[in-house]
Chains A and B, each alone.
Chain A
Amino acid sequence: MSSLTATPSENESHITSYPKFVGRSLWLATEGSLAFYAWMTMLTAVFLVGANAWANQVAGGMIGTNMTDQVSWGLYIANFTFMVGLAAGGVMMVIPAYLYHDRKMHDVVIIGELLAIAAIVMCLMFVVADLGRPDRFWHLLPLIGKFNFPISMLTWDVIVLNGYLLLNLHICGYLLYMRFLGRKPNPTWYIPFVMLSIVWAISIHTITAFLYCGLGGRPFWNTALLAPRFLASAFVSGPAFIIVAMVFIKRITGVGGLDQPIATLTKIIRVTILINLLMVASELFTEFYTGGSHASAAKYLFFGLHGKTALVPWTWTAIGLNLTAAALFLWPGLLAFRWRPLLVAACCMAFVGAWIEKGMGLIIPGFVPSTLHEIVEYVPSQLEWKVTVGIWAFGLMVFTIAIKTALPTLKNPAKY
């Protein structure tokens, strides 16, 4: 499995060897079984449906969505928020690998970093999908546009998200490139960036929470607990996704050494899922015991308000999934090999639970009731679902390609 290792002459310049590396990686990433091609073709088809829906949205205006002036953000921003968490969640592999020198985790830590790349790409796509004028995107670019930094939290988010993308591209790119050259990576070229990426991962989700919790006019979001809650649920959904990915990678590609990292991540989720539930409970107590109009969004979310109940099924599904997942994770037997399907199921439940809690269960109630206490409900339109599923398909494509590029490294970890 050294097919990614070239035999370039010792003094070949990076200018020629780097394009060779990129070409080689691309070639390798598009090699695979029939099942792989079927998977990629399916994702491409779904992505194209989404791209077409988005193009129609741009051409016809966002009237094709079900958003309104009352509920002015919907499924796109819900998914954006969740994806930021997924990107940050990958850091739960980086911390054991680099701070606790977990050897086994270190060998496969690139999975978490590649997930961060795919997730951030999806974040950026969700933001663009939500823009009324994507053609004016350049207004957001520092220097040539008009960047309202540091006042607007959105400009901070632009910086931290793109910075996190670049950091992870650099770390993964450098390690894979060194492997391609058959050289030992020089720690000064990546260890400082890895350390920075740990802090940065926390920052992307904190800043994303600040987007919402800094708004005084939205009592549901205006809580200091939002950023910690975001982080706790990110450290559930990120590891949960990675565990499922690793179970599949092991089964499909035969990469070894994944069981111990899976166990480590399971132990992390055991803690984070409880912290998250504790914070949800704390939030709910404060809302409902205090009562008053401050609690009306929470009332709407959990029980409906004035007969309007669109979010009630969503939120109780999330609560059910989160509690079941928490119970499963607390059961010590979950790590036994024969219970792998159950572990995957628990991860899926935790993942979907976090997706609802942070998406439909967080963004929408911020707008219901509106600031003038109107109750306008929101259910995503078909167009919004198409665009959303299309972006997910694209993200999975990026993740698949990235993992395939890294397979030689995963199958045969460096020994230094």
Chain B
Amino acid sequence: MAEQKPSLPVVENFSRRAAVKGAFATLGAGAFVAAVSPLRQAAKNSTAAEFMQQHYQELTAEQKAEVIARLEEEAKENYGVDVQIADDRPIPNTKFVYAINLSVCNGNGKCVEACHKENNHDRDTNQSYIRVLEMPKGTMDMEQGSTTYSGAVPKDDKFYLPVQCQQCDEPPCVDVCPVKATWKEEDGIVVVDYNWCIGCRYCEAACPYHARRFNWKQPTVPPEDVNPDQSYLSNRIRPVGVVEKCTFCLHRTRRGKLPACLEACPTGARVFGNILDPDSSIRWILNHKRVYILKEELGTKPAFFYYFD
């Protein structure tokens, strides 16, 4: 433009074209703002404090108290319930381990249901951290199993294999997380900071046990069904768009109680305890039964054992 002898028509043309381009750019920008207007709805549900919140492990005691107060307030607002969110920390000299007696488990699914209620899972999708495989006797190949079995249990030719988070000592899910939103605590429990997870679901892809769940929508729980006894790293109602998982019910087990799935089990197939305690029943089982772990060849070192009588 500069080197053409600047004659008047060119300049006029230039400014007119500039005006037209400007008008179209404005139109485009306006249309874009209109197109993404649903984001305003999403922004309404999120506060500046939530946006700015730091990683759980970097929060000071005061900040934690503030965060928890805010979360309790949000639960009241969104679910109409007074909940208590604690910050349960690992008990020193404790390493939690789980074992299931597959000779006893009869696939009744009470553990699945108890988990659903205890952990404030989304009612619409009937979510739970536990899946039970009905397996033909005579194989350990999960491909022969079914998670969608129905009818009276136990069936004569089947055995039942409940699977939940194995709380691995070498957890692939923790390794892959790009933002350290999930980590293994001193008592062996792998936890998620639901307020730090970005929802990339890489951990879901990495887990060999289908232990992780994603909140595809905001969980719905009727107020009368909400379990108000909650913990920040476990069963508080999760936000939409983040990953969650079994925490061995740390809001119970770190207070000396047993996991909800164990308490609900009518057969007594489930055994839970501190492997560092030489007198614990879990220790006796690991010492005296022929136990095995799932997908041992992957090197994930589960803290979850299976055995037959």
Contact = CB atoms under 8 A, between A and B. Distances in A.
Interface string B142-178: 1101011000000000000001000000001001111
Interface string A195-219: 0000000000000000110011110
A215 B203 CA distance: 10
Contacts of B207: 217, 371
A333 interface: no
Contact of A72 (B178, B201, B298): B201
A30 B24 CA distance: 11
B178 A48 contact: no
Given A62-B241, A217-B208, A374-B147, A136 B2 contact: no
Given A72-B205, A73-B201, A372-B131, A59 B178 contact: no
B199 A154 contact: no
Nearest to B31: A48
Contact of B178 (A133, A147, A369): A147
A68 B214 CA distance: 8
Interface string A369-390: 1111110000000000000000
A69 B36 contact: no
Interface in B23-64: 28, 31-32, 35-39, 41-42, 46, 51, 55
B198 A133 contact: yes
Contacts of A327: none
B242 A132 contact: yes
A365 to B, nearest CB: 13
B218 interface: yes
A6 B55 CA distance: 51
A373 B133 CA distance: 10
A140 interface: yes
Contacts of B201: 72-73, 130, 132
B143 A293 contact: yes
A132 B206 contact: no
B32 A51 contact: yes
B289 interface: no
Given A59-B38, A369-B143, A154 B200 contact: yes
A139 B198 contact: yes
B204 A69 contact: yes
B202 interface: yes
Most chain A beta-carbon contacts within 10 A, residue among B147, B176, B178? B178
Interface string A92-104: 0000000000000
Contact of B42 (A59, A136, A211): A59
A158 B178 CA distance: 9
Contacts of A372: 131, 133, 142, 145, 147, 163, 209-210
B212 interface: yes
B21 A30 contact: yes
A230 B197 CA distance: 29
Interface in A36-87: 44, 48-49, 51-52, 54-56, 58-63, 65, 67-70, 72-73
B299 interface: yes
Given A6-B2, A132-B241, A374-B147, A72 B204 contact: yes
A218 B205 contact: yes
B175 A151 contact: yes
A366 interface: yes
A200 to B, nearest CB: 20
Nearest to B18: A27
B283 interface: no
A308 to B, nearest CB: 13
A10 interface: no
Contacts of A154: 176, 178, 200, 202
Interface of A: 2-3, 5-7, 30-31, 44, 48-49, 51-52, 54-56, 58-63, 65, 67-70, 72-73, 127, 130-137, 139-140, 145-148, 151-155, 158, 211-212, 215-218, 293, 296, 366-367, 369-374
Which 10 pairs between the two chains have the least Cβ-Cβ distance?
A132-B199, A217-B208, A132-B241, A154-B178, A61-B217, A59-B38, A52-B35, A55-B38, A63-B217, A72-B204
